[in-house]
Every structure is written in structure tokens, then in C-alpha cells.
Structure 1
Amino acid sequence: MARTPSNMMALNTPAPDFNLMDVRTTHLTTLQDVKGERGTLIMFICNHCPFVKLVNEEIVKLANDYRPLGFGFAAIMSNDVENYPDDSPEKMRENANKNQFSFPYLFDGTQKIAKAYDAACTPDFFLFDSELKLVYRGQLDDSRPGNGIHPSGRDLREAMDALLNNRPVSAKQKPSIGCNIKWKE
């Protein structure tokens, strides 16, 4: 299993817009559709990656805890589905239902959105403030497959709590580590 780190997009970067199909509803969804009053979390995930499988339950908890507080959420899957059919939109829908995703699970078939966000791995997390400026990018927490640390969302929760309490988000941020995005050739 490859261990690819986040590219760590520059803080204060504006959130790149998108218009992608939500596999749960088959409706097109934009950044404005998912934008939260307090902040917006964009997650790059997929179905088959063991790093994502480890944290699926925690990202659902995170969304359920913070959506009522004014945060918007969306997950985006950008892998090449021809070479990785487990990440097809049909399988994405199954995964979203199985894990009870309460947020849009968006299919980036062209991979343009992953490139716009400079996403490198799954999972990769991008937290934007109320003005859609990047305040946090990197890991959910220190959990990794096989390291014995239970997912808690600690790093991301600290950043979201800072936004909630009108405090600056610490610039000391660790890259996420996961499977590389499966780029088309």
C-alpha cells in the first residue's frame, strides 16, 4: 500500500469551484450548494483505499457533529474508474449508503477538480472558512492502518473548533497520508 502525503495547498487559497454529480442523488452539486455558514470541508476519498476505510466512520461522525453548527461538507472521488472499477459511481453509491454518508459524495470523472485542489491522496482534507479561503489542509488525525491509533478526527476537529470560536487556525499542520489518487494515463 502506497503512502502518499498531501501536497499542502497554500493557506488562504480560495476554494476552487466545482459542478459534480452527487452519486447519492444523481444531481449536479456545486461548491455553493455545500458551502457552510461557518466553514466548508472538502474531502478527497475513494471506496477501496485502506486509509479511507479506516476513517469512514469518523468522517461521518465529524459531518454529523459539525453540520448542525454551520459547516458544509462534500466528499469527492477522483480516481480513474477504468483501472479502478471499485471506485465507479455505482460502487460509490453503495459505499455512501453502507457508511451512511450524510453529505454529497461527488464523482470527479475528469479529475479536473482534484487537480484544481492539488489533491494527492485519499483521504485528503481541505477546510475553508466562511469566505471560502483555505485555513486547514492535511490529516484527519494520526491514525493509519496498522498503527493502533483509533480515528478521532483530532486535528481537523481542532481546526473546525477554532473557526467556530473565531480563533485563528494553527498554521502547524501535518499532511494527510494515504493511497495516491489514481490518475488517468
Structure 2
Amino acid sequence: MALTPSNTMRVGTIAPDFVLPDTVSGVHIPLEAIQGEIGTLVLFICNHCPFVIHVNKLLVKLANQYQPQGINFIAISSNDVERYPQDSPELMKSHAIENKYPFPYLYDESQNVAKEYNAACTPDIYLFDKDLKLYYHGQLDDSRPGNAVKVTGDDIKIAFEDLINNKRYTHKGKPSVGCGIKWKG
């Protein structure tokens, strides 16, 4: 597995708009229909990445904890399913159900949404405020597959709590790292 860091996005950048199909319901969902009252966490993930598998349980736990507080979660897979069929929409649906995702798992077939977000890796994590302005872009925590650091979500929890409490995020964030997005040929 090649370690790929996230690209940068300037704080305050407006979330690029999209309408994507939810692999579980089959419904095309626009960003504004699923943005949170306080914030919106956009996650670029996929089914097979060991970095995502490593944090799946935490993502579900965080969503169950913070969505009732007004921070909605949205997961998007943009991988090339021709070369990586394990990330197909059918398997995304099974993956979401099996992992009990309490958030939509959207499919970006054209990869245009990933390009507009300048996403680079899975997981790539973007937290936007109520006005869809970027508040935080970085890692969940320091845990990685095989590094023996416990998965806690400490970095993103600080960002969530600051956003909920209407504070400016002042901590030094670290880029997320993971598998590179599988771009089409």
C-alpha cells in the first residue's frame, strides 16, 4: 500500500457542490440536502483501503455521536471500479450495510467531485461549517494500520467540539494519509 498524503485546501473555501447517487438507497442526493445544521464532514473513502478499514468502526461511532449534535457525515468513493471492482457501487452498498454506516455512501463515477475537492487519498477528510466553508481538513488521529497507535479520532474530535462551540479552530492540523485515490487511466 502506497502512503499518499492529502492535498491542501484553504480554510474558508466553499465546499464544491455535487449531486451523487447514494449506493444504499439508489437516490441521487445533492450536497445541500444532506449538509448539517452546524457542520458537514465529507469523507473520501473506499471499500478496500487498509487505512479506511482501520478507522471504519470509529467513523460509525463518531457519526452516531456527532450527527445528533448537527454535524452530518457524507462518505464518497471516487475510485476507478474498472481496475478496482471491489469498490463498485453494488459492493459499496454491501459495505455500508455491513458496517452500519449511519450516513450516505455516495458514488462519484466521473471522479469530478474528487477533483473539485482536490482529494488525494482515502480517507481524505473535510469538515465544513454551517455555511459550507472549510473549517478543518486533516487526519482523524495519529493511528495508522500497523503503527500500534490506538484509533481515537482525537484530531477530528477537537475540530468537532470547536465548531459546535462556535470557536475558531486554532490547532495545528496534520494532513490525512492513506491509499491514493484510484484515478481512471
1:172 deviates by 1.6
The aligned runs of 1:150-169 (5 Å cut-off) are 150-169=150-169
Q: Which residue of 2 aligns with 1:48?
A: 48
Unmatched tracts of structure 1, length 5 or more: none
Residue range with higher mean Cα deviation, 40-49 or 145-154: 145-154
Identity rate of aligned residues, in percent? 56
Deviation at 1:156, TM superposition (A): 0.6
> Aligned residues, how many?
185
* SS, match of residue 56 in structure 1: helix
Counterpart residue number, 1:94: 94
5 Å-filtered alignment, 1:24-39, equals 24-39=24-39
TM-score (norm 2): 0.98
Residue aligning to 1:74: 74
Aligned to 1:103: 103
Shift of 1:7: 0.1
Question: Which residue of structure 1 aligns with residue 4 of structure 2?
Answer: 4
Q: CA deviation at 1:170?
A: 2.1
Q: 1:91 aligns to what SS in structure 2?
A: helix
| Residues in 1 aligned to 2:172 and 2:130: alpha-carbon distance in whole angstroms | 21
1:73 aligned counterpart, secondary structure: strand
Which residues of structure 2 form unaligned runs of 5+? none
Q: What residue in structure 2 maps to residue 144 of structure 1?
A: 144
Q: Under a length normalisation based on structure 1, what TM-score does the superposition of the two structures give? A: 0.98
Q: Which letter maps to 1:37?
A: E
CA RMSD in angstroms, aligned pairs only: 0.7
How far residue 171 of structure 1 moved from its aligned partner, in angstroms, is 5.2
User: Residues 121-140 of structure 1, C-alpha deviation per residue, up to 9 Å, x if partnerless?
Assistant: 00000000111100100111
Shift of 1:12: 0.6
